[in-house]
Structure 1
Amino acid sequence: MATERELSDFLKSVEKRAFKRSVYHVRNEESALDIVQDSMMKLAEHYGDKPAEELPMLFQRILSNCTLDWFRRQKTRNALFSNMSDFESAGEDGDFDLLETLRVLDDSERTESAEDTTRRAQILREIEAQIQELPGRQREAFLMRYWEEMDVAETATAMGCSEGSVKTHCSRAVHALSKALKARGIHL
């Protein structure tokens, strides 16, 4: 059973990644924040008594479901109010590191020139832009596997699909990202 402190620590540890993942999906920071907050509240209310090791999987599933619920609500709203916007603008916020797991070395260990630092930032911005262009399920699988560092089985459970589907989505996402980046002269 997770203690209140363990639950709090877990939520703090996932909030930035969850927010960024939600922004990738809904392309609106305010909506993404609402989705993450709703997910965190549901985890605390309904699953706060679960063991701490179960929290990551539960949270990923809740976050996915809250995101799908958001899209369903948008579809309903758009059908009822055809003059509403599509809520597809996503601003840039410098408070969050871009794809933290793609960093090769910790900042304290890195001795880069200003040119290297600028190039790395440009590459990360390009990767982020290309991730946003991926189809929803590919983007979701890619982020869970390579950003959240979940294994195939955990990702399949969180996404509500088979392990084979996760592998297919990830393979297609990696191929599409690689092709798009190479077309822009970026070779990783």
Structure 2
Amino acid sequence: MSLPSRSDDERFRAFADHSTQPLTRLAYLLCGDQHLAHDLVQTCLVRLYQAWPKVEDRESVEPYARKVLLRCWLNEVRRPWRRSETRDGCVPDRPEVGADPADGVDRLHHKEMLRTALARIPPRQRAAVVLRYWSQYSVTETAEILRCSEGTVKSQTARGLAALRAAMTPLAATEESTP
């Protein structure tokens, strides 16, 4: 493994500065946990740094970074100790400094409903839905990233959307019954 040169370091640092926030958003959509999302991005950036001298096409580094991030998340999901961990504790609300409570409540509520529903669907289906509709990848690109056939992407996406709708229904019903 060869480490990047000084000029490669500067290019990598510029890439990392530019891409950390979008990668964190994608990681959060995949895992639904802010802290795990940051950990995944850090792991992704470490792996990218190690492979940086081998990256020939600098134009395609962002899709490659998203692919590495997805691989990091899938590896994390496969860990047996992660499956046994429960995340159903109650986290206290923290007020957003300087924000008017009336502004953005609906938007934040809908984002939280979507995040909760995404967390309820299986990881491969979630990955297919997020890659197709959030990251705007084609079926072919998604199949390459997930290392499966295009038919599998289509079926996982269809099942994921159905599961997402099913997960959203009780959340929406709860919202309507709340005064």
Q: Which residue of 2 aligns with 1:103?
A: none
CA distance, structure 2, for counterparts of residue 93 and residue 23 of structure 1: 20
Q: Which residue of 2 aligns with 1:12?
A: 20
CA distance, structure 1, for counterparts of residue 49 and residue 88 of structure 2: 28
Normalising by structure 2, report the TM-score: 0.68
Q: Which residue of 2 aligns with 1:53?
A: 59
1:33 aligns with 2:20: no
Q: Is the 8 A contact 1:131 1:177 kept in 2?
A: yes
Where structure 1 has 5 or more consecutive residues not aligned to the other structure, the ranges are 79-83, 95-113
CA distance, structure 1, for counterparts of residue 17 and residue 92 of structure 2: 24
Where structure 2 has 5 or more consecutive residues not aligned to the other structure, the ranges are 1-7, 94-101
Q: Is the 8 A contact 2:125 2:156 kept in 1?
A: yes
Q: Is the 8 A contact 2:40 2:73 kept in 1?
A: yes
Count of residues paired in the alignment: 157
Q: Aligned in 2, Cα 1:85/1:164: closer, same or farther, shift over 3 Å?
A: closer
Normalising by structure 1, report the TM-score: 0.65
1:89 aligns with 2:87: yes
Matched position secondary structure for 2:148:
coil
1:146 aligns with 2:133: yes
Percent identity, aligned pairs only? Answer: 25
Q: Which residue of 2 aligns with 1:43?
A: 48
Structure 2 counterpart of 1:14, which letter? P
Q: Is the 8 A contact 1:130 1:177 kept in 2?
A: yes
Instruction: Quote the offset at 1:10 in angstroms.
Output: 4.5
Q: CA RMSD in A?
A: 3.5
CA distance, structure 2, for counterparts of residue 90 and residue 33 of structure 1: 20
Q: Is the 8 A contact 1:23 1:90 kept in 2?
A: no
